[in-house]
Structure 1
């Protein structure tokens, strides 16, 4: 019996040490952007160098704010989650919500890399004057801004029901200099009434509660112009047991809709969308299922 207990204790301590290492690596990623000569920043860079990430950070595909958000969001969110007073997304601090938004700002770059090659006609549509996109659950507006910057003729409508996030989104849009092309509205996706108004629509299932998500997808299909594309962001449930368990855990913490690829494909197909498929994305990125009206 003693041997069994010792083995269990060793496994627990080993796992905890690995998890702690991950948290500190994320902290190093965030602090690696400190000014030259800062001792803590220099030490953080040695951590990134030890795992071969220095080149990926310097001059990579992510902006510095996006890297900061990618690193800080899980640290800040889990800190709130374990505080004992967590009830939902609105309990997060402004810093945690901003970090999540900054991380999502890289979505436009992912879209151009992983999706546009498969939809060449859409690339031309988004580059044309009058192109429109709707961003459901816009949060602090970073994703909306990312698309507006990537496509200079694109007009983006960002909707959300979270007043505090929308206030931060107004500042994000203003500072990015795209306020003339990004409109923010306090609106539930289930209340969307526009028809044939958008060329591109985005909805993130992990952040939208199930009743609103199901009704919202139906509204978004109606809101698409013929040939327009709907993108559903969702969890990935085809990984290891740990990956799948963590995806469910995070979705529950976010208060959103657990959705796997096959269910997402069935959902979009049932709404009459064409060419429905799940696009391969890198590890750590959400699953993306898309369909054309």
Structure 2
């Protein structure tokens, strides 16, 4: 082996340790970090949070413990983080961060001012699904069935203010069908209700439903995106399914309490970005989530959240939905 080859080999071997050192050179935790998921286990935030927490903990040198604090469409867990000490030991992952202020009248925290951006775990479209017991085999058949039976069927959401709720309202508006929205305590319970036949229609996140879709627990009629998803290549896009306006995807911002020192935010951001890059294949395979570049700075993360608030508010007001 030449000197050059030995040097390259040594550099490759040292790369992970160098990355860890650079990621935490300004701050390094000395006790476990809690990643708050404001939904019940089994939903998209829970699945994505656990994937990235495992990899980020290796960089930070401390466990990242995923803690589920469900309730009120993510408001309970999110408020808990907003009120937590801004020391880097409590962070949040919440795909409903932008939807809550669009649909909940009295939010006990400021969606933007009470948080600082750490990173974005990725983006994923929602899916239009039905219980296998429902005879509809296509989206067009589903709309016809709902219109012929107004008020007979239930549409499961992950709670008031959740992204699933926004997708459900968008579907009801576009389909012009009377279907009763039933709010569950998270994406996992809402999908479980569809599998059990307790609810018949759903617009869950891909992360919370992809396992049941592949296993036949629910039937996917459309992916709510302009193109098909590589995670579910056999499921038509919304335009292909005859519902071109039914486009809705979720994103997973990772946030810390406002006032968290910049070196701490930088170290957390570097660790989570590395974890996301390391887990790209796993995120797509297990959750249908695809990372995107461009969210390295806290300001970029919060700008995405702010844009989401404006977009989801416009969707809901157009559908005639007012804050409750």
| TM value normalised by structure 1 | 0.33
Which structure dedicates a bigger proportion of its chain to helix?
A: 1
TM-score normalised by L of structure 2: 0.31
